[in-house]
Amino acid sequence: MTTTACDVLIVGGGPAGLSAAARLAAAGLAVTLVDEQPELGGQYYRSPSPAVLREHGDHRPEGGRLVARVRSLGVDCRTGHLVWGVDDDGRTLLGTGPDGSPVRLRGRHVIVATGAYERTHPFPGWQLPSVTTPGFAQHLAAADGTSPGRRVLVAGSGPFLLPVACSLLAAGADVVGVAEAGHPYRPSLRAATALRHPARLRELAGYAARLARARVPLWQGRVVSRASGADRVSSATLAATADPGRPLRTVDVDALCVGYGFRPQTDLARLLGCEIRADAVTGDAEPVTDAFGRTSRPGVYVAGEAAGVGGVHRALVRGATAAAHILLREGSPAAPGPREIARLAARGRALTRFTALSDALYPSQAELRKALAATLDDDTIVCRCEAVTAAAVRSAAAERAGGDLNAAKSWSRAGMGPCQGRFCGFAVAGLVRDAAGDAADGAARCGVPVFPARQPIRPVPVETLLALGEQDGGDG
C-alpha cells in the first residue's frame, strides 16, 4: 500500500477545513481534504435532500459555493474516508476508504478540523426511542424536511436550541416548548453587551420572533429531569435547574430533543500527541493552540470547533488563519501580508469576545454537570452502549478506581461501546470526579476530563485491519 503524500493534509470537510483548503489551494499548494461523510460541508453546510432543495431551496447556499470553490481549485477531496488512527511514525494517518480498504495519508503540514460532538447529560429515560439530540433533529429537519415526532420538546442549553426549534416548525412539527437551563434571555447588563455584535443579535432575534409568532413557550431555568414512555417517549418532566430533583411540570410529547451545546472532538489531536488541557468554563478537553492554531506538535494545527467551540464564523476564521500561517512558513508568494494578518487577528478577537459573551450568558457547563449529576438516580443508565448505570460508575470510581477515570472505565465498562465515550464521556468523567471527593490526590488522578484516545477512534471493519497487517507484512 502506498502512502498518499501532499503539502497539507486536512482532516474534516466542514467550514474550518474548507476555509483552509480554499486559501491553501489558491496559493498553489497540494492539498488533500479528507472527510468521512459522502459529501463535503460538515454538519453546518450539509446539503439538503433533493426533495427539500426543490421545495425550499438551499438554506445555506454559502456552503455550497465554498465547496464548489474548493473543488474548482483542484483540492484532492476524499469523501467517504474515515481517519481512525496514527501510524507508528507518529505522523502518518491511517484511514479507511469508501470500499473499506486501508489508506495511509501524510502531509508536511496537518490541519485537524474534526469538529465537535453534542454534549449530553443522562437522565432517566434518555435511552427511550425518539429521545434525540438537537443536532440530530436539526439534521432531519433542515436536510430531510422531517421531524423526529409530531409533538416535540426542545431542551438543554445554548443558542443552538432556538434555530433547532425553528427548523422543526418549518418541518411541520408542533414544538410544545423550548426549555433552557439558564436565563440568557432576561434583560441584564451582561446581556446588553450583545449590542456590540449586531449581526449575531439580529440572527438570534429572528429565531425568537419566529417562535413567538408560533406561540412556542420559552421556559428559562428549566431542565429535563425524566422522560417516560413504553415503546417510545410519551412525556417529559421539567424541573428547576437550581433544584433538578424537584419536578415542576410534565409535558406530553412523542419526541424529545435534549442537548447542552457542543464539545471539541479531540481524539485525533490526542493521538497525534498534541498537548490537551481542561477548559475552566466548560470543563471540556481542548488542544493547547496559539493564535494561528499551532499545537505542541510541529506542523500540526487544530482549527474550527475541534480547537474550542465558537460557531461557524469563528471556525471559518480559524481555518483561514491556520492556512495563512502555513503559507508564511512555506515562504509562498501568496503568503498574507501584515495587513491581512492583522485583519484576521482582529476578526478572530471579535469572535472570541462573542464566544466569551455566550459562555457568560448561558450556564457554566462544568457547574451544570455537577448539579445534574448530584441528583442522578443510581439506576439511571449513563452509558447507553454498555447499559452501565450511575451506581456502577460511582462504585467503580470510589471503591476500585480511586478516582482514576481510565480505571473506572475498565471496572465499569462505561465508555467501552461503539461510541467510545463520545456521548457519555463528559457525564462519566463528572461522576468519577464527584466520587473521588475533595481529596487532592483524587482530583489529581482525574486529570483532563476525557477518556484516553485509543485507536481505532471509530469502529473499523476487521477486514480493514487484516488487510493493513498483510500489506505491512508484505512491505517488510
Fold match, 3-117+263-360 / 122-259: yes
Question: How many Cα neighbours within 13 Å face the side chain of 464?
Answer: 21
Which pLDDT does position 476 carry in this prediction? 46
Contact 278, 285 (CB under 8 A): yes
Q: Between 198 and 438, whose confidence is greater?
A: 198
CATH of 3-117+263-360, one of 1.10.569.10, 3.30.70.20, 3.20.20.10, 3.50.50.60: 3.50.50.60
Residue 444 has pLDDT above 50, yes or no: no
Alpha helix positions (H), 9-96: 15-26, 50-56, 61-72
Which pLDDT does position 150 carry in this prediction? 95
Residue 365 confidence class, pLDDT cut points 50, 70, 90: confident
Average pLDDT over residues 323-344: 93
Residue 298 CB burial class (10 angstroms; 0-12, 13-18, ≥19): exposed
Mean pLDDT of the residues in the chain: 88
CA atoms 198, 199, 202, 203: torsion sign = negative
Q: Which residues of 380-412 are buried (b: 16+ CB within 10 A; e: fewer)?
A: bbbbebbebbbbbbbbbbbeebbbbbebbbebb
Residue 443 confidence class, pLDDT cut points 50, 70, 90: very low
Q: Show me where the domains of the chain are located.
A: 3-117+263-360, 122-259, 376-446
Comparing C-alpha atoms, which of 352, 349, 364, 361 is closest to residue 279?
364
Which pLDDT does position 185 carry in this prediction? 87
Second-level CATH architecture of 122-259: 3-Layer(bba) Sandwich (3.50)
Average pLDDT over residues 406-434: 85
Q: What is the pTM of this model?
A: 0.91
Residue 353 has pLDDT above 70, yes or no: yes
Average pLDDT over residues 426-440: 73
